[in-house]
Structure 1
Amino acid sequence: MTATIAYADVEVGTELPAGSFPVTRAALVRYAGASGDFNPIHWNEKFAVEVGLPDVIAHGMFTMAEAIRVVTDWAGDPAAVVEYGVRFTRPVVVPNDDEGALIEVTGKVAALLDDNRVRVDLVATSAGQKVLGMSRAVVRLA
């Protein structure tokens, strides 16, 4: 499968459809099971607070995975992403309630590269604060 967006139809500044991704404690438990990352800062409020966190926090890789969904949804094919990297700037704090937290992600084409590739810069926030820095993906388009 190849990306459904054509390189010729994209220019620098093209905005991707934004995404909002809810994060609950239950989602963190499922992610821990899938990833094998059972660090108690991701599920045990008492432990998280004892080590200086405000509450349980989402796994960094979980946050990263949610953010790239904006790109894969836009491109139409997860395999179109050929590079992806971020810096973790703040944790996503997940309260123990029915709502949890929300990761909000926007993306914009920042550069046209060779070989039908573009660089997409992402902004990911939670509770009004940026949670990923230098979030960039290189995507090969049709």
Structure 2
Amino acid sequence: MAARIDYDTVSVGTELPPLTVPVTRSGLVRYAGAAGDFNPLHFSDRSAQQAGFPAAIAHGMLTMALAGQLVTEWSGDPASLCDFSVRFTKPVPVPDDGVGARLGLRGTVTEKLEGRRVRVALEVLCEGVKVLGSAQAVVQLN
């Protein structure tokens, strides 16, 4: 975790350091166990293909959590995340090839708010495709 970010050093347009996160089948299994979500779309290619997906897909909330990781690693404090919202726009197919999928995560400060908070717009891509829409977080800074 990085050192805590000071509000006075941040301006509108500040870019968060980009993050690339692997999403693997073993990660899907671990997430399913933690979340109690054992929908076969998240581990069975056959079930996913019957539903029209090319492969098993990542849990939407896992994708959202990984976007949150970008923000909390930047802020230096996991408790700094005050508000967080996304629209799930595209699934994240996770091939069973030992490599999986890669999420590219970027964020930009779009607004400085009262109380030493900032609003961050997030971009989450998988294979160049935007998988979360209207993704934004409000973060409490030092």
Which position in structure 2 is the counterpart of 1:99? Answer: 99
| 1:66 and 2:46 correspond | no
Distance 1:48 1:4 in 2: 41
Deviations 1:82-140 (A, max 9, x none): 00010001011100101100011000000000010000000000011000001100001
Which position in structure 2 is the counterpart of 1:77? Answer: 77
Which residue type is aligned with residue 133 of structure 1?
G
In structure 1, list runs of 5 or more residues that go unmatched: none
Distance 2:11 2:59 in 1: 33
In structure 2, list runs of 5 or more residues that go unmatched: none
Structure 2 SS opposite 1:33: helix
| 1:123 and 2:120 correspond | no
Distance 2:55 2:4 in 1: 40
Deviations 1:19-52 (A, max 9, x none): 0000111110110000000000000110110111
| 1:39 and 2:39 correspond | yes
Count of paired positions: 140
RMSD between aligned residues: 0.8
Which position in structure 2 is the counterpart of 1:57? Answer: 57
TM-score, normalising length from structure 2? 0.97
1:54 CA displacement:
1.6
Identical amino acids, percent of aligned pairs? 53
Deviations 1:57-90 (A, max 9, x none): 0000000011111110010001111000100010
Which residue type is aligned with residue 102 of structure 2?
L
Distance 1:136 1:110 in 2: 9
Distance 2:52 2:91 in 1: 12
Which position in structure 2 is the counterpart of 1:136? Answer: 136
Q: 1:6-21 residue pairs with structure 2 within 5 A?
A: 6-21=6-21
Structure 1 SS opposite 2:17: strand
Distance 1:127 1:8 in 2: 35
TM-score, normalising length from structure 1? 0.97
Runs (4+) of structure 1 moved beyond 4 Å?
none
